[in-house]
A and B are shown apart, each in its own frame.
Chain A
Amino acid sequence: MAAATASSTISQPAARTSSLIALIADEDTVTGFLLAGVGNVDLRRKTNYLLVDSKTPVKAIEDAFKEFTTRDDVAVLLISQYIANMVRFLIDSYKKPVPAILEIPSKDHPYDPAHDSILSRVKHMFSSDPSGPIGRG
Chain B
Amino acid sequence: MPAAGMEIAEEKEEVKLTTSGKIPERSDDGDDATLTALDATILRCLDSVDRLLQLRAALSETLAQGWMDMARARYAMGPSRIGQTLFSLKPNAALISVCVSQEHEQVIAYEYGEKELHCEIDEIEKRNHVRFKSIAEQNRNPKTEPMISFGALVSPHLRSAQSSFQTVQLWRTWWRWPMLRASY
Contacts and interface: CB of A to CB of B under 8 A. Distances in A.
A113 B53 contact: yes
Contacts of B126: 8-10
B93 A1 contact: yes
Interface string A1-41: 11111111111111111111100000111111111111111
A40 B83 CA distance: 17
Contacts, number: 200
Contacts of A59: none
B129 A75 contact: no
A11 B127 CA distance: 9
A57 interface: no
Contacts of B149: 34
B54 interface: no
Contacts of A14: 105
Interface residues of B, number: 77
Given A7-B131, A35-B147, A98-B107, A76 B95 contact: no
Interface stretch (A61-69, A82-90, A102-110): A102-110
A132 to B, nearest CB: 11
Interface in B108-132: 110, 114, 119, 121, 125-132
A125 interface: yes
A98 B165 CA distance: 23
A21 to B, nearest CB: 6
Interface string A96-137: 011010101101001101000011011001000000011110
A94 B162 CA distance: 31
A92 interface: no
Given A39-B92, A121-B19, A27 B146 contact: no
Given A13-B129, A76-B9, A35 B102 contact: no
B181 to A, nearest CB: 13
A102 B105 contact: no
Given A39-B92, A100-B107, A102-B9, A27 B83 contact: yes
A36 B149 CA distance: 12
A107 B67 contact: yes
Contact of A6 (B13, B119, B162): B119
A31 B134 CA distance: 27
Interface of B: 5-6, 8-9, 12-13, 15-16, 19, 21, 31, 35, 38-39, 45, 49, 52-53, 56, 59-60, 63, 66-67, 70, 82-84, 87-107, 110, 114, 119, 121, 125-136, 138, 146-147, 149, 158, 161-162, 164-166, 168-169
Interface of A: 1-21, 27-43, 45, 47-48, 51, 75-76, 78, 97-98, 100, 102, 104-105, 107, 110-111, 113, 118-119, 121-122, 125, 133-136
Given A30-B84, A32-B165, A34-B149, 4 more contacts: A1-B135, A13-B102, A97-B106, A102-B8
